[in-house]
Amino acid sequence: MNHLSKHFRLVSRFTTLQTRCFAMSSHSSSGQRKSANPKSPSSSSKSTTTSSSSSSTGPAFFPPIILGGATREQIEACPFYAPSPPEPHSTLDQPYSPPDPIWYNSRRDGPPDLNVPGGNHSVNIGDQFHDNRYKVVRKLGWGSFSTVWLAHDQQLDRHVALKIVKSAKDFTETAELEIKLHQRVSSANPDHLGYHHMAILLDHFTHEGPNGTHVCMVFEALGENLAGLNSRLGNGGIPQSVIRDVGRQVLLGLDYLHRECGITHTGIKPENILICIEDIEKLIRSELEKQHNTKTSAPICTPQLQSFSASSRTNHSKEDHSPIMVKIADLGDAAWSLSHRLTNRIQTRQYRSPDVIVGVPWNQRIDMWSVGCLFFELLTGNYLFHSPEDSDHVDQIHLMQIIDLVGPFPLEMALSGRYTHGIAHEIASYNYKQAMSCQEWNLEIMMSFYGFDKSIIQCLYRMLQIDPSKRCEAKEILDDKKCWLGAEK
């Protein structure tokens, strides 16, 4: 009841602030907008409740003004996101129990374009690749440009993850760049602590098939990703101490990737953080014996752990004392840091940084924004930002949410963006209205609602700075003894 009463007090307060904001908007901006919106809510409009993501539900609030001429219906598709009351967190003494059996059905049996020139290669269990070295055991999953298979390395008698890329030219070129990036990761500085938190490329080759020539990559076999773990523990059920350990490992991996390798990942999200499994060979062999003829596809799930506070595990570095070890995977969208690309076709929407959204030259610090969004999600079970991709105003909605929580938006950055033509003045207007009337509702209040320590809030703020020049780097956090994800306490 304490959480609920506090929640409804926040709802009431924000509704009042929202009404004041919209009243100011209607009074001060009439005649200034290029496209008036007759369907805009009146000053007496109230917030309603909607579900803004498949992974979380709860009250949501409509932004006090509308950017880019969006209708109320378009804004309602993804309103300002407010958290639902948090679920009870697991304790360190509670065991983690994954689903049984270890293999479970995936959302689909396979990709849709197996028999199309330029598409995926059709693979059957038992197929062998690269001079019969790698024998396919089962499917692990598939993505937009490849399929991934569990295979047995018959030369070294170990199991690996075999990634087979579509044969179209664009996919081949992307895969060739990914191989170069992985080769840099493998050789840059193996003594760096972050090296042990990067998924390592073991081998690569090409394979001729009926749909063309496919680039194939071989990786160490790892467990499920953080998205699967978080979901099965009840979204927000991972203990804070474990999230902190995972956070430090991700930052170590990014520090290695950024400073030692000169690479920007551009795709940090729970799906690309994989869990290492101690003695994975024993686990795989045991499950394959049990389910020899099973043909369903799935990732390798993390085995049962006696406790999150357990200390028995393989020692890779002095940092690795936590009951869980993770590695950053998938460099398919990564880029050399010195390329200074302007494209905004990077980063999954929920983890996309404002510099990418508006179209200014971005650098390695876009990964830090994604890390901030990632750890808010792990801590709460909710997205920090969530905009509908099918909306014509998805960027405007996303920018409003950012200003609501961590604004104001730097005007110079808005004016210089390639994708903010025509809405920069509205960003400035929204900055002003938030500063005048709605400044009480921000990330700190949201995090306080969950009862998180101030050190967590301060740490997230450092990663969620809109201005990339003020956004922290991974090493800054790692070296800061006062920071929640900082040096060992």
Give the residue extent of every domain in the chain: 2-82+351-479, 128-339
Closest CA to 67 of 317, 353, 424: 424
What pLDDT band is residue 302 in, cutting at 50, 70 and 90?
low
Structure-model confidence comparison of residues 205 and 62, the more confident one? 205
Residue 3 scores a pLDDT above 60:
no
Q: What is the per-residue pLDDT for 238?
A: 87
Q: What is the per-residue pLDDT for 415?
A: 85
Q: What is the per-residue pLDDT for 119?
A: 92
Q: What is the per-residue pLDDT for 96?
A: 36
Mean pLDDT of 240-260: 96
Residue 17 scores a pLDDT above 90:
no
Whether 2-82+351-479 shares its CATH topology with 128-339 is answered yes
- Bridge partners of residue 275, in order along the sequence: 326
Residues 6+ apart with CB under 8 A from 441: 13, 14, 17, 404
291: phi then psi, degrees, rounded to nearest 5:
-125, 55
pLDDT tens digits, 112-153? 666 788 999 999 999 999 999 999 999 988 888 899 999 999
What pLDDT band is residue 432 in, cutting at 50, 70 and 90?
low
Q: Which two tokens stand for residue 121?
A: 């290669």
String of DSSP letters for 69-136: T--HHHHHTS-EE-PPPPPPPPPTTSPB---SSS----S-SS-S-TTSTTSPPP--TT-EETTTTEEE
Least reliable range by pLDDT among 281-285, 324-328, 393-397: 281-285
Structure-model confidence comparison of residues 300 and 115, the more confident one? 115
pTM more than 0.75: no
What pLDDT band is residue 340 in, cutting at 50, 70 and 90?
low
Consult the annotation and say whether 163 binds a ligand: yes
Residue 69 scores a pLDDT above 60:
no
Mean pLDDT of 198-207: 97
Mean pLDDT of 447-464: 88
Most confident region among 11-25, 114-128, 360-374, 435-449 by mean pLDDT: 360-374
What pLDDT band is residue 436 in, cutting at 50, 70 and 90?
low
String of DSSP letters for 431-489: HHHHHHH-TT-SHHHHHHHTT--HHHHHHHHHH--SSTTTSPPHHHHHH-TTSTTSS--
What pLDDT band is residue 198 in, cutting at 50, 70 and 90?
very high
Average pLDDT, the chain: 74
Q: Which long-range contacts (C-beta less than 8 Å, at least 24 apart) are formed by 178-183?
A: 178/217, 178/331, 178/332, 178/334, 179/204, 179/215, 179/217, 181/261, 181/263, 181/331, 181/334, 181/336, 182/217, 182/331
Angle of helix 365-380 relative to helix 240-255, nearest 10 degrees?
A: 170
- Bridge partners of residue 197, in order along the sequence: none
Q: What is the per-residue pLDDT for 395?
A: 87
Q: Which two tokens stand for residue 433?
A: 């209205």
Mean pLDDT of 375-399: 86
Q: Which two tokens stand for residue 349?
A: 């929407």
Residue 386 scores a pLDDT above 90:
no
Q: What is the per-residue pLDDT for 195?
A: 98
Residue 437 scores a pLDDT above 80:
no
Residue 159 scores a pLDDT above 80:
yes
Least reliable range by pLDDT among 36-50, 270-284, 320-334, 378-392: 36-50
Residue 262 scores a pLDDT above 60:
yes
Residue 79 scores a pLDDT above 70:
no
Q: What is the per-residue pLDDT for 76?
A: 37
CA 245: distance to chain centroid? 17
CA 263: distance to chain centroid? 17
Most confident region among 27-31, 143-147, 194-198, 457-461 by mean pLDDT: 194-198
Residue 343 scores a pLDDT above 50:
yes
- Bridge partners of residue 58, in order along the sequence: 50
CA 378: distance to chain centroid? 10
CATH class of 128-339: mainly alpha
Give the integer Cα–Cα distance in Å for 243 and 475: 18
CATH class of 2-82+351-479: mainly alpha
Mean pLDDT of 188-204: 97
Give the integer Cα–Cα distance in Å for 195 and 38: 56
